[in-house]
Amino acid sequence: MLATLNKRFLTLIFSGLALTAVISTAQGYDRVTGELFASRSEVMAQNGMAATSHPLATQIALDILKSGGHAVDAAIAANAALGLMEPTGNGIGGDLFAIVWDAKTQTLQGYNGSGRSPQSLTLEWFIENGYEDIPPRGPLPVSVPGVIDGWFALHERYGALEMADVLAPAIEYARKGHPVHELIAWYWDRSVPVLAEFPGFLEQFTIDGRAPRAGELWKNPNYADTLDMLIQEGRDGFYKGEMARRIGEYMASHGGFLSYEDLASHQGNWVDPVSTNYRGYDVWQIPPNGQGIAGLQILNILEAFDLSSYGFGSPEHIHLFVEAKKLAFEDRARHYADPEFMEVDVEWLISKHYADERRSLIDMDEAAETVEAGRPQLNEGDTIYLTTADKDGNMVSLIQSNYRGMGSGMTPPDAGFILQNRGEMFVLKDGHPNSFAPSKRPFHTIIPAFITKDGSPWVSFGLMGGGMQPQGHAQIVINLIDFGMGLQEAGDAPRIHHTGSTEPTGQALQMTDGGTINLESGFSYQTIRALLGKGHDIAWARGPFGGYQAIMVEHDMTTTPPIRIYRGASESRKDGQAAGF
């Protein structure tokens, strides 16, 4: 055991070189006082608020709100702008999920805007052609893009402005250009060599074959034309018009299966969000095919432990969180899938009784090296998250993505967007819940979140980053509720990221070595030594984990009538901004 610990310490010492790379992004944790402080103050406003991963998109959302737009109008406008300004994380070739607080009905409404696999592609085709996994890029991982349908469904129910007004800012920026931000330029530069081989990418997403540099003006007139087409023809212009035919012909000519018929038959759907109550607060997620309920399972398991008495960053806090995550993620790998193909009851998975069963498997003194999925009555990703709130109290929690690294690379001619590679998440194994099948929705990592208190809205939030998302969601909730942090502090606090759990893609049959805890800077060496003593493998974070935006709503009850106050947060790990008016 001593030799093992020494080996782990040596690994920690050498990997500690990476620590300096993330000190500036990980938030001030004072090891002497044990107090956290945010990288910046929360933003406060009365009439409206927006928090996105790009300051220009935030300003567009505010302009929409100031002109009388609904929070949904502002969210769509910001999302459309981000497809231009942050194509490294999203675009109209991808999918969308949203949770809306409807102030009139005082209810939460969910929307699943994920697309399905091609009708003409089968599991047998992959097997017969020697595939063990679906490639991450090219024509084979492409599934139907659901974001445009999502925009129009949300707008039809809630929009207060014309779609022409909502999309106008993105169209203007696409034609006139905008300066590319530093972090986005860095990600863009990483993607170009990987996606350069795919037809249409270099022509539409580079400047003379290279990524735009930080501060360089970027235009995308093809994207502007596509948005103009949406104004003129609506959602059917994308799914049943000339654009759908263009996509189908492009895919067929380059070895793909996505067809006009696949696009024409697409339909997203309104869903009821699901929740668990954590210490008096209801935490809400969209049910599968997404991974959101993994965050609820983590919270259910942890609710029986007095985390506040252990303190943030204590060995007990981190140990319990990681052990709960291991249990939830084994269920995530075995059970989460398209609900039409999912046999396990979601209500049971997020029930308190099931959490009691799973919690009993945690050893306070020893890290679990092997975890089995429960038997109840079942990564990496580039994403944007945004949230908006309007003068009437409506709030939107929206997440949108092309999945991995700008998407598949498949870029339809003169369209200005890249098709997603979400189909990579399917498993090429017969009988697995997430096994590939025609017209099936793949497992999804992108998840919006919402918290209510006593039936009223409290926090709309999200945290980007593949498999980090449910881990990050749970940590935000714990930071707010158990550790009493403010909205900005909760996002800026150093994060815990555990890897090694079984993936929904079937990349591993089971976690066998306990995985690895990646810690952002800010956790004490005393805590790290204690975790090593419990058998955990520890590594410093090689980069920041996740990207957080949030809006909190409060009411000043000392006035008549009470005044609604919004608080906004956007963490320092991204280029984003929270702003209000």
Q: Which residues are catalytic?
A: 383
The rounded distance, in Å, linking the Cα atoms of 539 and 138 is 33
The rounded distance, in Å, linking the Cα atoms of 194 and 203 is 15
Residue whose C-alpha is closest to residue 346's, from 442, 275, 277, 424: 275
Q: Within the chain, what is the greatest distance between any pair of CA atoms?
A: 71
Residue whose C-alpha is closest to residue 81's, from 402, 418, 446, 384: 384
Instruction: Label residue 240 exposed, middle or buried (CB < 10 Å: 0-12, 13-18, 19+).
Output: middle
The rounded distance, in Å, linking the Cα atoms of 360 and 402 is 38
The rounded distance, in Å, linking the Cα atoms of 114 and 149 is 9
Element (H, E) at 194: helix 182-195
Element (H, E) at 112: strand 107-113
Is the alpha carbon torsion for 62, 64, 70, 72 positive or negative?
Answer: negative
Cα 44 to Cα 70, 206, 493, 566, 578: the distances in Å are 19, 38, 20, 6, 9
Query: Which region holds residue 406: left if phi is over 0, alpha if psi is between -120 and 50, else beta?
Result: left
State residue 399 phi and psi, 5-degree precision: -130, 145
